[in-house]
Chains A and B, each alone.
Chain A
């Protein structure tokens, strides 16, 4: 079983390498190293599949290898048409690999319906024996990182021995025990960081996979487009990568299909005939942001509103801001059934994209300029199992703010200025920043503190003060999901169990700020 999953992973790796290589060859057809690399990938697949006894896979790989040999010899010059043909060959190969794996009872990446079509009896019996169970998820980890964990584990063992001997000692050296405990604490914290980093993978390979998407969609719709990737080294939790793939795929397809204009149209307005789709990833406080941009025609507010009226989503008299109008594209009623199937083939519309992203407690926003292009930005919280939390008291309860978003803490008495009903301002290093009062919605009858404090948080680059009653300090916080019951509450990103065994809620700073701002009538920020 593990042989099969290794085989599957190896094939996938080689096939991705072939795709990447072929796409690059389209732009630099004379690059012999690239041709060599693609050829070797095909050769590798041929070799391993023959060893594993997957002769059909081997045959296809062999045909591809033969074809590539001609370019390698210089007998043929590669061009766009050849690339399309060879990419199709890789698709055939991928299908055959999936089918072979399914036949071997591994399950593999093939869809279940397809399994049933091809070999219903065999798969049913395999399923009955539990052979159809999906293989456990695997993650490739840099050996250096793993070595770091092992080394640290050794240090923790030593520190535990040290602690034990101190505790066994004759004299009650509590100071020494505390010292040893603190040292151990640091080691545990390092360990936590290292282990969490094991789960992080670079976005690069995922983003790179969309080169093929851009090319396919562009050629299918008679357009020219290239994909530019930035921030491929930004790391993200391995679990999130998989959930992100589909929404991003749809957004990229969407950019090419609807954003980028036809080459003639582009030339007519003085743009380069080849459109540019960009994928940028970056870290933003405790979140990760991924932008899908294009230099196409942009969104036309008037047309969006007209269409929404036509569909009965808007009344004739409704007036929308530009942002609200742009967000219409995420409205379920806005998609059209015929378009959905044609574009994605998966029945995914932009409304589902938004739902998926929000399901990960993320958000998606649009910025667009008519005639210049559109950029959609997905922001996801890096909801990992453990975060550094800053614990505060608001009213009688303890709340946790993600430390990554906490900039500084101030004593409110010195810096707070009341500005009447609309709220308060805080003097933060000479700058006046607005200050939010979560007590207003978190009040449980407890008396306000006589010495409130202000926690300055980073809200997407903007500094905002949050008044709390007491600062409890920083500590490692294990994030527990709140469960489906609280799915509609945007203020909290999770909960944690405190040292005393109570539950403390983890605040979602962005949603808290926007929620409180809304409540204050938008007058604060």
Chain B
């Protein structure tokens, strides 16, 4: 296993930070899901709130736990464990929501991830280069990093909330009108003016 991570604030030797001393080493929030540690970039984190009751939303996939009241706003809550193919997360006294900033079709929004527990905030200078068991490979895992003696999976938030994923889950209506109905061929005027038909 090749270690390419470190925990101090000093940039790793050999990395190019454009000579800027203030350049921050990317920081990550980690949390435990079913005993496995996952990480998201700290800049995507809005806040962490303790568990409040969730209202289920009918006709949604199982991993969509429902919606909860976050200071008067409606916050969708997702069971990350289920989303990653596991079982429903039981609610305990340590359960919490990690509220992330995501963007959906260009609209900024917040999403809560239901967690067993929050881990730590850590600085990781480099990611990647780690080999990990294929069984963990999923489109939602961007990479693996090694912290101390454990392997941490870096979540790919973009694909977790990608349009295609949410459309497939029936949460979003597919956008129409993208396909070119003429396959690139522009109809001629004669074709357009074919007697009295309603053209819109």
- A482-B74 in contact (CB<8A): yes
**A334 part of interface (Cβ distance < 8 Å):** yes
Interface membership of chain B positions 79-95, coded 1 if the CB is closer than 8 angstroms to chain A and 0 otherwise: 00000000000000000
- A339-B200 in contact (CB<8A): yes
- B107-A484 in contact (CB<8A): yes
**Given the complex of chains A and B, what is the CA–CA distance between A312 and B187 in angstroms?**
13
- B73-A492 in contact (CB<8A): no
B61 to chain A, nearest CB (A): 12
- B176-A332 in contact (CB<8A): yes
Chain A stretch 453-490: residues in CB contact (< 8 A) with chain B: 480-489
A residues less than 8 Å from B186 (CB atoms): 337-338
**A432 part of interface (Cβ distance < 8 Å):** no
**A495 part of interface (Cβ distance < 8 Å):** yes
- A491-B177 in contact (CB<8A): no
A38 to chain B, nearest CB (A): 35
B187 — nearest CB in chain A belongs to which residue? Answer: A336
B residues less than 8 Å from A486 (CB atoms): 57, 60, 76, 171
Chain A stretch 247-286: residues in CB contact (< 8 A) with chain B: 254, 258-259
Given contacts A486-B76, A503-B69, A503-B74, contact A303 B197 (CB under 8 A): yes
**A322 part of interface (Cβ distance < 8 Å):** no
A112 to chain B, nearest CB (A): 19
**B109 part of interface (Cβ distance < 8 Å):** yes
Surface stretch bound by B, among A51-59, A90-98, A177-185, A345-353: A345-353
Given contacts A336-B187, A337-B186, A487-B172, contact A258 B179 (CB under 8 A): no
A177 to chain B, nearest CB (A): 27
- A338-B76 in contact (CB<8A): no
B residues less than 8 Å from A339 (CB atoms): 192, 199-200
Partner of B104, one of A442, A485, A492: A485
Partner of B200, one of A300, A334, A442: A334
**Given the complex of chains A and B, what is the CA–CA distance between A441 and B60 in angstroms?**
10
B162 to chain A, nearest CB (A): 12
B residues less than 8 Å from A398 (CB atoms): 55
A471 to chain B, nearest CB (A): 19
**B4 part of interface (Cβ distance < 8 Å):** no
- B111-A355 in contact (CB<8A): no
- A441-B199 in contact (CB<8A): no
Chain B stretch 36-93: residues in CB contact (< 8 A) with chain A: 52-60, 66-69, 72-74, 76
B167 — nearest CB in chain A belongs to which residue? Answer: A488
- A488-B173 in contact (CB<8A): yes
- B181-A504 in contact (CB<8A): no
A residues less than 8 Å from B59 (CB atoms): 441, 489, 491
**A299 part of interface (Cβ distance < 8 Å):** yes
A residues less than 8 Å from B54 (CB atoms): 503
B residues less than 8 Å from A352 (CB atoms): 177
Interface membership of chain A positions 299-332, coded 1 if the CB is closer than 8 angstroms to chain B and 0 otherwise: 1100110010001110000000000000001111
A residues less than 8 Å from B104 (CB atoms): 484-485
- A307-B166 in contact (CB<8A): no
A residues less than 8 Å from B189 (CB atoms): 338
**A333 part of interface (Cβ distance < 8 Å):** yes
A512 to chain B, nearest CB (A): 10
Interface membership of chain A positions 348-374, coded 1 if the CB is closer than 8 angstroms to chain B and 0 otherwise: 011110010000000000000000000
**Given the complex of chains A and B, what is the CA–CA distance between A497 and B73 in angstroms?**
8
B residues less than 8 Å from A130 (CB atoms): none
**Given the complex of chains A and B, what is the CA–CA distance between A351 and B178 in angstroms?**
11
Chain B stretch 185-200: residues in CB contact (< 8 A) with chain A: 186-187, 189, 192, 196-200
Partner of B171, one of A332, A333, A487, A505: A487
A349 — nearest CB in chain B belongs to which residue? Answer: B200
A residues less than 8 Å from B67 (CB atoms): 482, 495, 503, 505
Interface range on chain A (Cβ under 8 Å from partner):
35 or more
Chain B stretch 141-171: residues in CB contact (< 8 A) with chain A: 166-167, 170-171
- A332-B74 in contact (CB<8A): no
Partner of B69, one of A303, A311, A501: A501
B residues less than 8 Å from A330 (CB atoms): 200
A residues less than 8 Å from B73 (CB atoms): 480
B177 — nearest CB in chain A belongs to which residue? Answer: A332
A444 — nearest CB in chain B belongs to which residue? Answer: B56
Given contacts A303-B197, A313-B181, A503-B69, contact A487 B109 (CB under 8 A): no
- A338-B192 in contact (CB<8A): yes
- A333-B181 in contact (CB<8A): yes
A326 — nearest CB in chain B belongs to which residue? Answer: B198
**Given the complex of chains A and B, what is the CA–CA distance between A334 and B199 in angstroms?**
8
A487 — nearest CB in chain B belongs to which residue? Answer: B172
- A489-B60 in contact (CB<8A): yes
**A502 part of interface (Cβ distance < 8 Å):** yes
- A485-B76 in contact (CB<8A): yes
**Given the complex of chains A and B, what is the CA–CA distance between A483 and B76 in angstroms?**
8
Given contacts A481-B74, A491-B59, contact A332 B181 (CB under 8 A): yes
Partner of B53, one of A441, A480, A502: A502
**Given the complex of chains A and B, what is the CA–CA distance between A299 and B200 in angstroms?**
12
Given contacts A254-B200, A334-B200, A351-B176, contact A484 B60 (CB under 8 A): no
B152 to chain A, nearest CB (A): 27
Partner of A397, one of B56, B173, B196, B198: B56
**Given the complex of chains A and B, what is the CA–CA distance between A15 and B15 in angstroms?**
65
**Given the complex of chains A and B, what is the CA–CA distance between A297 and B172 in angstroms?**
37
Partner of A505, one of B57, B167, B170: B57
- A441-B58 in contact (CB<8A): yes
The 9 closest A-B pairs by CB, nearest first: A333-B181, A332-B177, A350-B200, A488-B173, A503-B55, A303-B197, A488-B172, A484-B104, A442-B58
Q: Identify 12 residue pairs between A and B in the complex whose beta-carbon atoms are under 8 Å apart, listed by A's number.
A: A299-B198, A304-B197, A335-B200, A337-B186, A339-B199, A355-B176, A441-B58, A483-B76, A485-B172, A491-B58, A502-B53, A504-B55
Chain B residues proximal to chain A, CB less than 8 Å:
52-60, 66-69, 72-74, 76, 104-105, 107, 109, 111, 166-167, 170-173, 176-177, 179, 181-182, 186-187, 189, 192, 196-200
Additional pairs, 9, CB under 8 Å, beyond known A336-B199, A338-B187, A502-B69: A300-B197, A300-B198, A397-B55, A480-B74, A481-B74, A483-B74, A489-B57, A503-B54, A503-B68
